[in-house]
Amino acid sequence: MDFTGTQKIAILLLALGDKFASDVFKRMERKEITAISRVIMELDSVSKDDVEAVLREFHMALVDGLDVVSGGQEILKQLLTSNLDAETAKYISDALNIDSGPVPFQELDKANPKLLSQLLRNEHPQTLALILGHLKPEQASNLLLMLPAPVRPEILMRLARLESVPEEMLLDVDRVLQSQLIAMGSKEGKKVGGSQSVAEILNQVDRATEEEVLAEIEETSVQMAEDIRNLMFVFEDCKFIDDKGMREILKEANNDDLTLALRGASDELKELFFKNMSERAGEMIKEELEFMGPAKLSDVEAAQQSIVRMVRNLESSGKIIISRGTGGDILV
């Protein structure tokens, strides 16, 4: 699939994680952050091969652009694999305790067992032996039982005779299997993008950048901006608020909303609220919770969202400060 430059940047940031994305965003203009955030929102699933292609392109751009000689584990691994046979490269990597890279068939445990057996039932017994030898014993036995009975003894005999197999051969078989599983719908492409990804990234930037980015996204889609805000702070995150902040919330909270919201809260969060109430108010809510009839999950979530909106309003008015970035508490 062909991607634009901005899409490649978005995929790169998502693939390398929140910390990397946060560091990159700190060096960008806010308009650039907004453009990338918008692309992240629009991304759906990106296949493993496409993600790897973007990472390779980024890696090659770095290598081609370097004016100095660099060492390190990755450079050494490239030298070993490029200049030595697989067995010698593996021996040296093991001796130096170097991560040898991707492990063949590592992700097969995520595949639907029935579809996997259908995919493999016409494979050569030698290929099946290779695959079984890399699975956990329980998974290997389950897969074996789903394969045709006449071929099982030959697979196990070939597995018993297996010794050293070139790593590249294993990786080639694994790559073919992965692509076939994706095509069959047994294994999804890597999920990237969406509101959750944008929320996780914006949680790492400063408040001014967050607001400017969300304001520009809001010009395109009010709902999109609201979805991101909802994911950036959820009701359970109130457990990170200090006692002073909790008392501010209790002053403003609607009692019925709070009671219903606490119905779906953890014991830790409930105790934090009760600790900052008067003893009488706490006992009343505890009693209501005890004798309350069944409540719809949608009603509980709506009550929690009402409290979350109120928390945001308190933050906007300066009564609660929400600190952004990688250090410190979420709320102080």
CATH number at residue 270: 1.10.220.30
In angstroms, rounded to a whole number, what is the distance separating the alpha carbons of residues 234 and 265? 11
> What phi, psi does 191 have (nearest 5°)?
-80, 120
Decide if 54 is inside a domain: no
In angstroms, rounded to a whole number, what is the distance separating the alpha carbons of residues 7 and 38? 10
Decide if 291 is inside a domain: yes
Decide if 91 is inside a domain: no
Domain total for the chain? 3
In angstroms, rounded to a whole number, what is the distance separating the alpha carbons of residues 146 and 116? 9
Is residue 216 packed enough to be buried (19+ CB in 10 Å), middle (13-18) or exposed (0-12)?
middle
Decide if 125 is inside a domain: yes
Q: Residue 319's domain spans which residues?
A: 235-332
For residues 275 and 207, membership in a common domain is answered with: no
**Residue-by-residue pLDDT tens, the chain, 332 positions:** 578 888 888 888 888 877 777 777 777 776 777 777 777 877 777 888 888 888 888 777 766 554 333 445 555 565 556 555 666 666 666 666 655 555 666 667 666 667 777 777 778 888 888 888 777 777 778 888 888 888 888 888 888 877 666 767 777 777 777 766 665 554 444 444 567 777 777 766 666 777 888 888 888 888 888 888 777 777 888 887 888 888 999 999 888 899 999 988 888 889 999 999 999 999 999 998 888 777 788 888 888 888 888 887 887 787 876 554 444 343 33
Decide if 239 is inside a domain: yes
The total number of residues shown for the chain amounts to: 332
DSSP 182-196: HHHTSSPPEE--SHH
pTM of the model as a whole: 0.38
Q: Of 232, 264, 299, at which residue does a domain stop?
A: 232
For residues 221 and 258, membership in a common domain is answered with: no
Q: How far is CA 225 from the centre of its chain?
A: 20
In angstroms, rounded to a whole number, what is the distance separating the alpha carbons of residues 103 and 121? 23
> What phi, psi does 235 have (nearest 5°)?
-55, -40
Decide if 300 is inside a domain: yes
For residues 165 and 116, membership in a common domain is answered with: yes
CA angle 122, 126, 131 (to 5 degrees): 85
For residues 261 and 326, membership in a common domain is answered with: yes
In angstroms, rounded to a whole number, what is the distance separating the alpha carbons of residues 176 and 183? 11
